[in-house]
Amino acid sequence: MGVPFSQKAFLRYHVCGVRSTKQSGYGAWLNMKQLLVTGPRQASLCEVPRPDCGAAEVLVETRLTAISTGTELRVFRAIAVDDEGQFLHETVPFQLPASTGYSLVGTVREAGDSVTGLRPGDRVFATAAHAAWAAVPIDALQLLPESVTSEHAVWLNVLEVAHRALRQAGPDPGADVAIIGQGVVGLGMLAWSVACGFRTVVVENHPERRAIAREMGADLALSPDEPDCVAEALGFAGGVGADVVFEAGSSWEAIRMALQVARADGKVVVMSRHTQRPHFNPVGHPYLGKRLNVVTTYGYPPDGHRWDRYRSVALTLDFLERGRFDLNPMVTDRFTAEQLPSVYDRMDRGDASLVGVLIDW
């Protein structure tokens, strides 16, 4: 079985530029289609050289990729200021043109000389960008069992991120859980919460996503625009608030909501990457008096950690194989590779109906 992705491999393929290739081997003198961000809010499906297969790599022909909206929009927008013209505190370090995407299912066509456990014809998950072919390091691959569909397996990275947050939170049996934001990461978090039997309330702006959350098993789905949203969330959790709150909304309003619906001495897990300046004091009144434990889950524990990435991926795949997740409601749209640039335009304009998006190659 392929060794599941190391942190180094994930970072290399999470946001990367166009890879230079040697013209030899399986991909000699052949081109492929790849989505490239060529400028701020400019994406094209480009013809680029098909990559070679290195000694420690596997050449994969893509069947399906999935879009992670928040992460990929940061690359697509390729700007270092927010919508109000304020400079961001941090930017994504990449050069244009840049590839984007990190969730791919495909078929092994060639394995490098030092690769063992994988052979042509194997179906694999890869941490790789939106492209028709990918030369992927062995530690960024996972062999897939026949019982797991490609449409479910392509969310392996998203589900693993959610599992890492769950481990970080460590909720006790019978805990009340709140999830703020129902994009793909928030829905992945919901899938874990339901699979583990936690009573779960979600808070989400868009009615389409609240409907998906209910279908996936949320006990209560609230709009933050409702005047009594916080009161209802607190009431759901015995009138005192959630034991654990997962923030997956990528905004300071989501952080504020998470702090409000957490119970005293509760835990808030920040899952999103935040780049905008805060517009309120997250450690001021009334949050300071709640004695909250606020933790982040961005990044990976070191290899060899009790729950390192290898073990986390293995458990996530086991849950997929045993049918513990109902992911069908999460998949809202399916497009061809040729439609990718227009899909990015729709996401950039704030089309909230695009949630779990699959791309056929």
Both 150 and 196 in one domain: the answer is no
Classify residue 304: in a domain, yes or no: no
> Are β-strands 176-180 and 199-203 bridged in parallel, bridged antiparallel, or unpaired?
parallel
Classify residue 61: in a domain, yes or no: yes
Neighbours of 28 (CB within 10 A): 12
Quick one: pLDDT at residue 300?
65
Both 173 and 145 in one domain: the answer is no
Classify residue 118: in a domain, yes or no: yes
Instruction: Work out how many domains the chain is built from and give that number.
Output: 2
Both 141 and 203 in one domain: the answer is no
Both 183 and 52 in one domain: the answer is no
pLDDT per position in the chain (361 positions), as tens? 343 444 344 334 443 334 444 444 444 458 999 999 988 899 999 999 999 999 999 999 999 999 998 889 888 887 554 455 444 545 555 677 889 999 999 999 999 999 999 999 999 999 999 999 999 999 899 999 999 999 999 999 999 999 999 999 999 999 999 999 999 999 999 999 999 999 999 999 999 999 999 999 999 999 999 999 999 999 999 999 999 999 999 888 999 999 999 999 999 999 987 766 777 787 777 788 899 999 988 666 666 677 788 888 999 999 999 999 999 999 999 999 999 999 999 999 999 999 999 999 9
| Residue entry with tokens 């492929």 | 32
| Strands laid side by side in the 262-270 sheet | 220-222, 199-203, 176-180, 242-247, 262-270, 293-296
User: Which CATH number does the domain housing residue 117 bear?
Assistant: 3.90.180.10
Single residue among 296, 317, 351 that ends a domain in this structure = 296
Q: 240 lies in which domain range?
A: 162-296
Both 22 and 129 in one domain: the answer is yes
Classify residue 281: in a domain, yes or no: yes
Both 172 and 240 in one domain: the answer is yes
Classify residue 310: in a domain, yes or no: no
User: Which CATH number does the domain housing residue 189 bear?
Assistant: 3.40.50.720
Asked if 37 contacts 98 with a C-beta cutoff of 8 angstroms, the reply is: yes
Give whole-number Cα distances, 170 to 69, 191, 217, 243, 361, in Å: 27, 16, 20, 10, 39
Both 144 and 257 in one domain: the answer is no
**How many whole angstroms separate alpha carbon 240 and alpha carbon 234?**
6
Closest CA to 37 of 85, 72, 69, 67: 72
Both 349 and 283 in one domain: the answer is no
Both 103 and 187 in one domain: the answer is no
DSSP states of 191-258: HHHHHTT-EEEEE-S-HHHHHHHHHHT-SEEE-TTSTTHHHHHHHHTTTT-EEEEEE-S-SHHHHHHH
Classify residue 318: in a domain, yes or no: no
> Are β-strands 123-126 and 98-99 bridged in parallel, bridged antiparallel, or unpaired?
unpaired
**How many whole angstroms separate alpha carbon 192 and alpha carbon 316?**
9
Classify residue 312: in a domain, yes or no: no
Residues 6+ apart with CB under 8 A from 164: 297, 300, 301, 307, 312
Both 255 and 288 in one domain: the answer is yes
Both 143 and 202 in one domain: the answer is no
Both 209 and 250 in one domain: the answer is yes
Single residue among 250, 277, 296 that ends a domain in this structure = 296
Classify residue 303: in a domain, yes or no: no
Quick one: pLDDT at residue 22?
41
Single residue among 257, 280, 296 that ends a domain in this structure = 296
